[in-house]
Amino acid sequence: MRIAIIGYGKLGHEIEKAAIERGHSIELIIDKDNADELDSEHLESVDVAIEFTTPGTAVTNISTCLKSGIPVVSGTTGWLEQWDEMVRLCNEKGGALFYASNYSIGVNILFAVNTQLAEIMNDFPQYRVSMEEIHHVHKLDAPSGTAISLAEQIIEKSPAKKNWSLDTENPDTIRIDAKREGEVNGFHKILYDSEVDTIEISHNAKSRKGFANGAVMAAEFLAGKSGVFGMKDMLKL
């Protein structure tokens, strides 16, 4: 496939390597210094765009791709308050949009286990659930998009939980402890604590390669499709 990389930062560079390794070619690279080149004319030369930029620029980038008829895979976190708007635009244009807060296959297995565990734990109210996430100091948003997805999965399965919070600790709230340390690639832990024991499930990303491989696989998955897709569709978990 001919790929456009939008956002040539840490993930953009990894995606370039992963795409070439999987036999694709990179036809267009957009970063903030040439952001004005992201238009239908430049996108004409590509089959799909992969977008990992910033919370403040993702929506414009995704919109431009959809309006230009180019399928887009986005991994940028921190813009989901405009999710419904992007879904509407995608459907209106008959386009294709793939979004995941985390493209790592391991994290998506954690998502599946997290949902099952939350269901089981409903019958054991003596356990208090909380979460911890650790990322590198350059990360702009907190909690991470992955932590929010994990919390939302628990809330969906637990009638007693209504919301998540970074600071308050109420019986109906899941506390997320978001830490920013060194160059940590991504650590997420869900913890159920009782007076007598603790149950923990966690995922630790050893490098960014897992995210990049997943994003390129998502681009391959979008070929010939229209609609809005996520990791559940691709991995059939």
Question: Which member of 1, 35, 80, 199 binds ligand NAD (CB under 6 A)?
Answer: 35
Is 9 a binding residue for ligand NAD by CB under 6 A? The answer is: yes
Phi, psi (degrees; rounded to nearest 5) at 15: -65, -40
Q: Residue 125 CB, nearest distance to ligand NAD (Å)?
A: 33
Is 142 a binding residue for ligand NAD by CB under 6 A? The answer is: no
Question: Which member of 2, 32, 179, 232 binds ligand NAD (CB under 6 A)?
Answer: 32
Is 230 a binding residue for ligand NAD by CB under 6 A? The answer is: no
Q: Which is nearer to ligand NAD, 10 or 22 (CB)?
A: 10
Question: Which member of 27, 57, 93, 230 binds ligand NAD (CB under 6 A)?
Answer: 57
Instruction: Decide: helix, strand or coil at residue 69.
Output: coil
Of 24, 135, 189, 203, the catalytic one is 135
The greatest distance separating any two alpha carbons of the chain, rounded to the nearest whole angstrom, comes to 63
Distance, in Å, from the CA atom of 205 to the CA atom of 136, rounded to the nearest integer, reads: 12
Residue type, 84: D
Is 229 a binding residue for ligand NAD by CB under 6 A? The answer is: no
Of 10, 42, 67, 139, the catalytic one is 139
Q: Is 139 a catalytic residue?
A: yes
Q: Which is nearer to ligand NAD, 9 or 227 (CB)?
A: 9
Q: In this structure, are residues 61 and 129 in contact, taking their beta carbons and an 8 Å threshold?
A: no
The count of other CB atoms within 10 Å of the CB of residue 40 is 12
Distance, in Å, from the CA atom of 52 to the CA atom of 5, rounded to the nearest integer, reads: 8
Is 31 a binding residue for ligand NAD by CB under 6 A? The answer is: yes
Q: In this structure, are residues 142 and 178 in contact, taking their beta carbons and an 8 Å threshold?
A: yes
Nearest 5 degrees, angle CA 106-CA 111-CA 113?
95
Binding region for ligand NAD (CB under 6 A): 6-12, 30-32, 35, 52-54, 57, 61, 75-78, 100-103, 211
